[in-house]
Amino acid sequence: MGEPAPLVSIPAALPPPGVAEWYEGRDGAKLRAGLFPAGGHARGSVILSPGRSEPIEKYFEVVRELTGRGFVVLVHDWRGQGLSERSLDDPLAGHAKGWRTFLHDFDRMLGVFEGRLPEPWIAVGHSMGGGLTALALAEGEDRFVAAVLSAPMLGLNLGRVQPRAAAALARFMTLIGKGGEYAAPAIDPFSETFDGNILTHDQPRYELFKAQLHAKPEARISGPTFGWVLFALSLCNRVRKSRRIDRLAIPLVIVLAEQERLCSNPAAKAVARRAPEGKWVEVPGAFHEILMETDERRAVFWAEFDAVADEVAPPR
């Protein structure tokens, strides 16, 4: 057992039964993960990787849905967000220093918790977490029997800006020591409102997460830095070029939002088509945060997850 870490609790969102612990990244960074036992006999484990800016607490509902299906759940704060260690003096900056550090952290976490994670393992990831999960598979991670990804970051929606131009600018800013500067004007999450958001159509879930952040303001982050943009584009490019995706020996299901504004659906579909057991499904009318969407839109994700789970980790 590691050193206990806090889980933020508010009356409307109590933590599921389980514990949070600190663990160390390869470079000694203090990182947080939560481990939640299965309801009843465990049929396996789910490693749940949130997106950019999302702490463990945002996934309490999802954790309960997974433990209720008979899975042990490990969910974590990526470095630089949630309550995990930040690398800049500005705690609101969404920063990154390359994709390798994230994969080292991911591998370290699996090693720390593997004795408490009954097999088989299923990977679930959203947005940045989905992109990093795909990258881990592309880099040779072979401990999972399936992966189900929600709106994974396998390409960025940059509008009229070409990815090469964005990468060149981000690389230049990083080289001259300005990788920690915001790539766009910083907006404090507390100033954002439901009206006009491009993440979810479900206002109660949107407001619940806002309330969780108010209960623990240090868990919030703002916009991405040039360093983060360079990391994200490098991740997408590395997955796109990986030959391991073409011979991936596990089911890879990608669930996409029809009204996606942040990530590239065509890029994600291209990855799904390359995987031998790849599949993509688009959720009608959904915004980016499929797991935080309205019930009928979330149900599409859960139908896909259950189909894969029943195949690779049938109830006992």
Helices H / strands E in the chain, number of each: 8, 9
Predicted structure pTM score: 0.97
Per DSSP, the residues of 59-79 read GHHHHHHHHTTTEEEEEEPPT
| β strands within the chain, DSSP E | 3-5, 19-24, 30-36, 44-49, 71-76, 121-126, 144-150, 252-257, 278-283
Instruction: For residues 176-192, give the mean pLDDT.
Output: 93
3-state secondary structure of 81: coil
Which percentage of the chain shows pLDDT scores above 90? 94
Tell me which of 185 and 104 has the higher pLDDT: 104
Evaluate the CA torsion angle 156, 162, 168, 173 in order and state its sign.
negative
How far is C-alpha 133 from the chain's CA centre?
8
Instruction: For residues 273-296, give the mean pLDDT.
Output: 98
| β strands within 172-267, DSSP E | 252-257
Q: Residue 186: is its pLDDT beyond 90?
A: no
Q: Residue 1: is its pLDDT beyond 90?
A: no
Q: For 3-54, write each residue's pLDDT tens digit.
A: 999 999 999 999 999 999 999 998 999 999 999 999 999 999 999 999 999 9
> Cβ distance 312 to 145 under 8 Å?
yes
pLDDT band at 91 (very low <50, low <70, confident <90, very high): very high
Q: Which fold has domain 3-310?
A: Rossmann fold (3.40.50)
Residue entry with tokens 């999802």: 62
Mean pLDDT computed over every residue of the chain: 97
Q: Could you give the CA distance from residue 74 to residue 34 in angstroms, rounded to a whole number?
A: 6
Which percentage of the chain shows pLDDT scores above 70? 100
Instruction: For residues 292-307, give the mean pLDDT.
Output: 98
What pairs with residue 125 in β-bridges?
Answer: 49, 149
